[in-house]
Chains A and B, each alone.
Chain A
Amino acid sequence: MIKAILIFNNHGKPRLSKFYEHYSEDTEQQIIRETFHLVSKRDENVCNFLEGGMLIGGSDNKLIYRHYATLYFVFCVDSSESELGILDLIQVFVETLDKCFENVCELDLIFHVDKVHNILAEMVMGGMVLETNMNEIVTQVDAENKMEKSEAGLAGAPARAVSAVKNMNLPEMPRNINIGDISIKVPNLPSFK
């Protein structure tokens, strides 16, 4: 079982948090902080597994993480999951994000956390791995988005236009600051198909 999936940046700012067990909001924040603390102090070239934060889990649990550019992707899992399998799943997740957002960067995650959730929902459900095939995931996500678009139809057009204008007006959203290239290939890990 996957207990939680967290994404935060190099400063510990949460970009996505998905807990598959219930915690209060305060505990969730503590867990994020603790996890960030544990993960961020590790060097780049050490292993991607970490035994235990105090808050989440217990002895059976592991943190499995990957660091891409400015973002940490952390999965908290118990012993029924294969460690290398989860590492691969993270890779699939990031590659899927990359495909759905077209060159994903941290800003995409900042402004479209709902979309990230929707993508994640096609991969992991209730803490269990639902789908690992990227094409399948992308197909479903696309189909859902298509449906959303068709629903918005005529009524959605003005809102979209306004939002485009809003984005245009603000110099603060520079798409060209591509914060690092997120798609880093996994070293030494034979692909897991």
Chain B
Amino acid sequence: MALKMVKGSIDRMFDKNLQDLVRGIRNHKEDEAKFISACIDEIKHELKQDNIAVKANAVCKLTYLQMLGYDVSWAAFNIIEVMSSSKFTFKRIGYLAASQCFHEGTDVIMLTTNQIRKDLSSPNQYDTGVALTGLSCFVTPDLARDLANDIMTLMSHTKPYIRKKAVLIMYKVFLKYPESLRPAFPRLKEKLEDPDPGVQSAAVNVICELARRNPKNYLSLAPLFFKLMTSSTNNWVLIKIIKLFGALTPLEPRLGKKLIEPLTNLIHSTSAMSLLYECVNTVIAVLISLSSGMPNHSASIQLCVQKLRILIEDSDQNLKYLGLLAMSKILKTHPKSVQSHKDLILQCLDDKDESIRLRALDLLYGMVSKKNLMEIVKKLMIHVDKAEGTTYRDELLTKIIDICSQSNYQYITNFEWYISILVELTRLEGTRHGHLIASQMLDVAIRVKAIRSFAVSQMAMLLDNAHLLAGNTQRNGICEVLYAAAWICGEFSEHLEEPMQTLEAVLRPKVTTLPGHIQAVYVQNAVKLFATVLARQEGAGDRQAAQETTELLIEKLPQFVQSSDLEVQERASCILQLIKYIQKLQAKEVSVSEEVSALFSGELNPVAPKAQKKVPIPDGLDLDSWINKPLRETESEDEKPRAIFHEEEPQHSRPRLPEIDEKELAKRREVRKQEQASNPFYIKSSPSPQKCYQETANVDHIPVVQIDLTVPLKVPGMPMSDQYVKLEEDRRQKQKQDKKKDKKKKKEKEKKRGKGRRLDSAHTESEEDIAPAQSVDIMTEEMPENALPSDEDDKDPNDPYRALDIDLDKPLVDSDKLPVRTHRPTEGLKSPDPMMGVEEQGEKKSSKKIKKDKERKKSKEEKKKKKHRKSASGKEVEEEGQVEKPAPPAAESESTAPPAAPPTEDSDLDFWLSSASVPSQSQPELVDPAPSSEPEEPKDEEEREESKSSKHKKKKHRKEKEEKSKKKKKQHQDEGAAESVQNGTLEEEEEPLPPMSNYSLLAENSDIKMVCDIQGNLQDGSQVVVSVIFENKGSSFLKSMEFNVMDSLNTKLVRPEGASVHDGIAVPFQLPPGVSNEARFVFTVQSIIMPQKLKGTLTFIVKTEDGSSHEKLDFKLLFTCTSYLITTPCYSDAFAKLLESGELKMNCLKLEGITMPFHHLLAKICFHHHFSVVERIDSCSSMYSRSIQGHHVCLLVKTGDKSVSIDAKCDEPTLLSNVLDEIKLTFAVTC
């Protein structure tokens, strides 16, 4: 055997391993692809061999090739083969490969379920670990559903190494299978207090990740996190928690109040920059969430800003960057505090690091005021000129526009200046934001009436110099500006001084090189201009000139009629006919100008971007029904006419990706060309002096002369914005002087008041009293009547995290189960440890209290008269709670047991938040017995707090709360409804199963209670795993627990290496009062056909205030035959074969007086005795199970009138009779 292995490995050593492959690739630099394809052939050959080592080697190489970009999905099945190897070495290779290339679309992934399950329950922690790591990368919804329960069990594994991995992977499971969140959450919460810091950190990690997406569901954990924050010393954990609080505070302002102090302390004390930074961040979040009524508010802000300044001034670029980032958050709510650091921020604009410059730009946004806007923009314009990369320059451009246009042009005092800035920006070569500039021009010209004549004159100049801009015809390039220019000149042509000149500019042949949509606007606006020119000429009585103008149009328009762009063509032909008709009229000496102008009369008003959506659909209009029967689509897509003003609308949307458009256009053009070529009826466009748009597709062939750009481009005659800055300054100066007299008077008055105040008012005056140069009438955008602009429709319905928005405070109901293939309900839901049940109830109460609180709020708003009824209504709610409870009877029965230790303080968030700093020990007593009287306190405080805050805030706050309470109420009702239905169906056949537990009492005394469950080990036929839940029943701390049993010949406890048979195993945790935890112990068994009993002892130390004492508790551990059975699914044909084989011995059992529904009976057998149902026909069912040593056990269960007969077959008669006895016992106990 050994010889064979050696021989095999000698054969193998001439195979290429990963190192050889890498070396080979490095040696074949020239023909790498060829070499690799040869290697892949070799790998394919290796994969066909039987030797698993060869396969693993091949898979290892594939993993490397995958990194180089080769698709290796064809080897998915081989990867699974390697994964299922029993050797860790190969398993690890397999899982690594799987984690690199498996994904949800991999079809063979479903084959891995059982293998992974097997690995998860492996006694070797590294097998489990490697499976968890792999699974975390390729978990699918199916895998998540099937394995959720197994992973949850691992969360209480004895090894912290496994625990932390299991905890971490739960996040992935939740994402893929959101139903698992509720049943698993209690245990996850428990892990927050795990003795191992790694596990604790993992749990914090997962909950933070969950809470980030749906923070409101995790508010109830705030007290627990608060405790962790004040006690933990692990910076990773602290950072996560602090980040989490940042997400929670916006939802609960009272939380912020509580946080400020410890956070401030941390800021002062920590030396770790990362922690300091996160603290500052969260303090900022807190300050944002708090109303401005806080007295020590400004101190905190000052502290933050001060610390940030230190960061920004640091020589480390990373800190500088982060400082700026955090500063921008403060800016949103407290611009004043940031504005004082303007110097620093402007300095950062000159930094050599682009990331830092960009962050500084963000900050500038909030630093502008009416006073300094021009100055800042001027500075930015200088940067625009200096900037090298187009990305940074484009970023500058968008920032300039953002800064100027923010809050409805609030800071612009001189729109002439702004227009000239926009015009200057058009000089930017190669920018991709032409569209942005264009939309600003349109917006300003339309909405600021006073500026129109100036804007029109500027735009006319742009049109005149269009050749400077038109060089760059790429989409969204600067030529987009011409779109705006043409439209503005046309629409407001009455302001033009020389409309004729502009008209000529619009009709230049060069225009036809512009993109189609711009040409279309040109054509349309040419007519508007024409109308104006005509009116003037006719007004002046110059008919000759008018006719010449018409002539000009008739002469120039055909160039557009020939356009390849449908829109342009259509408009041009239409207009050409119109003009020709006008010409005829003119020939008859009819004055037409009035009628032509009438075509364009009326004003176009700006329309809000969301207005269209808000137009209500009239009654009786069905937008989905066809007007005509749909035609078969025969036309190619590009024939679809474009919406006429579609370019105007995306003003607020992002610019499209130019590449895609370009590509698509090219493709379409290609298709069309081919169509045309093969169409004998298509007349090819005759070569005309004007270049057709179609031909511009081949511009690559035209030699392009590079323009030397070192000379700054200056459009002749264009006004410089600086000019306006100067003018504006002069104007302000004058204004100031005018005002001085008034001020003096005021100052005299103010002298009598406090100094600081005077300074203040003087300051604001100088800032706010700058009157705009023009009397600006900024029109608001139009909306349909009764429609409010809102953001509600902006939410993305496809958010993957939405599914995880689950109320975790609701008590678990029967439907919250993890699907368990093995028919074992999860530990979490049937609350094997009473503690969990109690905790949930506590939570339930707390949620109710919040509800109550909110209801009360609502009533308060209605009228205060209800105040006295409050306690009564509280009782009502409480009663409702009573009605609700009967659903999980088991949980209730457990909850009736006196809770030795009341739930921890997190049971009542409201209370925790409202009490300033009640010591946590005394709290629970207050909470439990008097739930109806206690909420008065927080409410009062809230009232006070609210009255302090500003009215505006109050309203908003209240509204929110009201909404919440409504929602809650609704949920509540739903819940109730669901339950009543359940109760109604009690008599029905398919009644829900009562919760079951396999945990049986092991031993109990006044200090501790042990319950246990025994399960066979799937992998090892000689091992069983005993899960014991220890519950601390007393009020003292339990530690140093040691679990020991007396081994029998047949059954032995697996002890760590080197331990003698008399040594116990230390339980890997300590138990504070009222807490329970689970530990697992592995036993080896030889024969499994008989039940076994082992005597054992648990020793532990009880630590009380007076001291500690050693205690011990004896128990008897019963290994039933059932516990050796493993639920194994079996198909009916395989089952039939098994029965036919004749190797099985028969036995039977009859149970009398069974009244329970048949499906209950089956479920009980499945659950307690690890069977699975093979087939069920009416009142008869076949069931199957397998022992860990491979014995088949088959049952045929038939139910008659109040009796059940079970025929059973098994290859081991003793085992069978024992199992049947146990089944009998189960039903004897329950009936």
A contact residues vs B (CB 8 Å cutoff): 1, 14, 16-18, 20, 22, 24-26, 28-29, 43, 45-51, 80, 82-85, 87-88, 110-114, 117-118, 121, 125-133, 136, 140, 143-144, 147-148, 151-152, 154-156, 158-159, 161-163, 166-167, 170, 172-173, 187-190, 192-193
A151 touches B89 (CB 8 A): yes
| A49, A158, A167: the one within 8 Å of B355 (CB) | A49
Could you mark each residue 1-30 of chain B with 1 if its beta carbon is under 8 Å from any beta carbon of chain A, else 0?
010011011101110011110110011000
> Closest CB of chain A to B848's CB: distance in Å?
32
| A29, A132, A159, A188: the one within 8 Å of B12 (CB) | A159
B165 touches A130 (CB 8 A): yes
Q: A84-B273, A110-B22, A172-B23 are in contact. Are A188 and B315 (CB under 8 A)?
A: yes
B277 touches A82 (CB 8 A): yes
| A132 to B, closest residue via Cβ | B236
Interface of chain B residues 1054 through 1101 with chain A (CB within 8 A): none
| B104 to A, closest residue via Cβ | A22
Q: A20-B137, A83-B322, A126-B172 are in contact. Are A173 and B316 (CB under 8 A)?
A: no
| B26, B93, B274, B354: the one within 8 Å of A85 (CB) | B274
How far does the alpha carbon of A114 sit from the alpha carbon of B63 in the complex, in Å? 8
Q: What residues of chain B lie closer than 8 Å to A133, measured between beta carbons?
A: 198
Could you mark each residue 209-244 of chain B with 1 if its beta carbon is under 8 Å from any beta carbon of chain A, else 0?
100100000000000000000000001100100010
How far does the alpha carbon of A51 sit from the alpha carbon of B271 in the complex, in Å? 27
B126 touches A143 (CB 8 A): yes
Interface size class of B (residues with CB under 8 A): 35 or more
| A84, A113, A143: the one within 8 Å of B322 (CB) | A84
| A47 to B, closest residue via Cβ | B317
How far does the alpha carbon of A131 sit from the alpha carbon of B669 in the complex, in Å? 56
| A32 to B, closest residue via Cβ | B69
| B70, B88, B201, B353: the one within 8 Å of A25 (CB) | B70
| A162 to B, closest residue via Cβ | B13
- In the complex, whether B92 has a CB less than 8 A from a CB of chain A is yes
B9 touches A126 (CB 8 A): no
Q: What residues of chain A lie closer than 8 Å to B354, measured between beta carbons?
A: 46
Q: A121-B133, A163-B17, A172-B27 are in contact. Are A26 and B69 (CB under 8 A)?
A: yes
- In the complex, whether B202 has a CB less than 8 A from a CB of chain A is yes
Q: What residues of chain B lie closer than 8 Å to A1, measured between beta carbons?
A: 209
B212 touches A111 (CB 8 A): no
| B67, B239, B271, B355: the one within 8 Å of A47 (CB) | B355
Q: Can you list 17 A-B pairs, Cβ within 8 angstroms, ordered by A? A: A20-B137, A43-B353, A47-B317, A84-B273, A84-B274, A110-B22, A112-B19, A126-B172, A128-B205, A129-B205, A155-B5, A156-B9, A159-B13, A166-B19, A172-B23, A172-B26, A172-B27
> Closest CB of chain A to B777's CB: distance in Å?
36
How far does the alpha carbon of A84 sit from the alpha carbon of B14 in the complex, in Å? 47
- In the complex, whether B1158 has a CB less than 8 A from a CB of chain A is no
Q: What residues of chain A lie closer than 8 Å to B26, measured between beta carbons?
A: 110, 172
Q: What residues of chain B lie closer than 8 Å to A166, measured between beta carbons?
A: 19-20
Not counting A83-B277, A154-B6, a sample of 8 additional A-B residue pairs whose C-beta atoms are within 8 angstroms of each other reads A20-B137, A22-B103, A24-B71, A47-B355, A51-B355, A130-B164, A172-B23, A190-B271
> Closest CB of chain A to B242's CB: distance in Å?
9
B10 touches A158 (CB 8 A): yes
- In the complex, whether B248 has a CB less than 8 A from a CB of chain A is no
How far does the alpha carbon of A161 sit from the alpha carbon of B803 in the complex, in Å? 55
- In the complex, whether B352 has a CB less than 8 A from a CB of chain A is yes
B169 touches A144 (CB 8 A): no
Q: A154-B6, A190-B273 are in contact. Are A48 and B318 (CB under 8 A)?
A: yes
- In the complex, whether B303 has a CB less than 8 A from a CB of chain A is no
| B14 to A, closest residue via Cβ | A162
| B20, B66, B201, B272: the one within 8 Å of A192 (CB) | B272
> Closest CB of chain B to A99's CB: distance in Å?
19
B60 touches A114 (CB 8 A): yes
Q: A29-B69, A132-B236, A155-B9 are in contact. Are A46 and B315 (CB under 8 A)?
A: no
> Closest CB of chain B to A53's CB: distance in Å?
12
A128 touches B171 (CB 8 A): yes
B2 touches A46 (CB 8 A): no
Q: What residues of chain A lie closer than 8 Å to B206, measured between beta carbons?
A: 128
| B319 to A, closest residue via Cβ | A188
- In the complex, whether B1173 has a CB less than 8 A from a CB of chain A is no
Q: What residues of chain B lie closer than 8 Å to A158, measured between beta carbons?
A: 6, 9-10, 13
Q: What residues of chain B lie closer than 8 Å to A126, measured between beta carbons?
A: 133, 136-137, 139, 168-169, 171-172
| A167 to B, closest residue via Cβ | B19
> Closest CB of chain B to A174's CB: distance in Å?
13
- In the complex, whether B1167 has a CB less than 8 A from a CB of chain A is no
B209 touches A80 (CB 8 A): yes
> Closest CB of chain A to B933's CB: distance in Å?
41
> Closest CB of chain B to A13's CB: distance in Å?
9
Q: What residues of chain B lie closer than 8 Å to A85, measured between beta carbons?
A: 235-236, 239, 274
> Closest CB of chain B to A33's CB: distance in Å?
10
How far does the alpha carbon of A189 sit from the alpha carbon of B23 in the complex, in Å? 38
- In the complex, whether B829 has a CB less than 8 A from a CB of chain A is no
> Closest CB of chain B to A186's CB: distance in Å?
10
How far does the alpha carbon of A15 sit from the alpha carbon of B218 in the complex, in Å? 40
A192 touches B274 (CB 8 A): yes
Residue of A49, A151, A161 most packed against chain B (CB within 10 A): A49
Q: A114-B96, A187-B316 are in contact. Are A129 and B236 (CB under 8 A)?
A: yes
Q: What residues of chain B lie closer than 8 Å to A29, measured between beta carbons?
A: 69
B198 touches A136 (CB 8 A): yes
A114 touches B168 (CB 8 A): no
Interchain residue pairs A-B with the least CB separation, the first 6: A126-B136, A84-B274, A22-B103, A47-B317, A46-B353, A162-B13
- In the complex, whether B1115 has a CB less than 8 A from a CB of chain A is no
| A25, A84, A144: the one within 8 Å of B66 (CB) | A25
- In the complex, whether B278 has a CB less than 8 A from a CB of chain A is yes
Interface of chain B residues 161 through 176 with chain A (CB within 8 A): 161, 164-165, 168-169, 171-172
| B68, B133, B277: the one within 8 Å of A125 (CB) | B133
| A14, A22, A125: the one within 8 Å of B67 (CB) | A14
B67 touches A17 (CB 8 A): yes
B198 touches A82 (CB 8 A): no
How far does the alpha carbon of A25 sit from the alpha carbon of B126 in the complex, in Å? 29
Q: What residues of chain A lie closer than 8 Å to B314, measured between beta carbons?
A: 188
> Closest CB of chain B to A76's CB: distance in Å?
15
B89 touches A148 (CB 8 A): yes
B13 touches A188 (CB 8 A): no
Interface of chain B residues 122 through 165 with chain A (CB within 8 A): 126, 129-130, 132-133, 136-137, 139, 161, 164-165
- In the complex, whether B361 has a CB less than 8 A from a CB of chain A is no
Residue of A16, A88, A114 most packed against chain B (CB within 10 A): A114
- In the complex, whether B64 has a CB less than 8 A from a CB of chain A is yes
How far does the alpha carbon of A9 sit from the alpha carbon of B540 in the complex, in Å? 77
- In the complex, whether B403 has a CB less than 8 A from a CB of chain A is no
> Closest CB of chain B to A192's CB: distance in Å?
6
Could you mark each residue 66-94 of chain B with 1 if its beta carbon is under 8 Å from any beta carbon of chain A, else 0?
11111100000000000000011100110
How far does the alpha carbon of A147 sit from the alpha carbon of B126 in the complex, in Å? 9
A84 touches B355 (CB 8 A): no
B96 touches A28 (CB 8 A): no
> Closest CB of chain B to A54's CB: distance in Å?
9
B274 touches A82 (CB 8 A): yes
Q: What residues of chain B lie closer than 8 Å to A143, measured between beta carbons?
A: 126
How far does the alpha carbon of A162 sit from the alpha carbon of B209 in the complex, in Å? 48
A163 touches B13 (CB 8 A): yes
Q: What residues of chain A lie closer than 8 Å to B68, measured between beta carbons?
A: 14
How far does the alpha carbon of A121 sit from the alpha carbon of B354 in the complex, in Å? 34
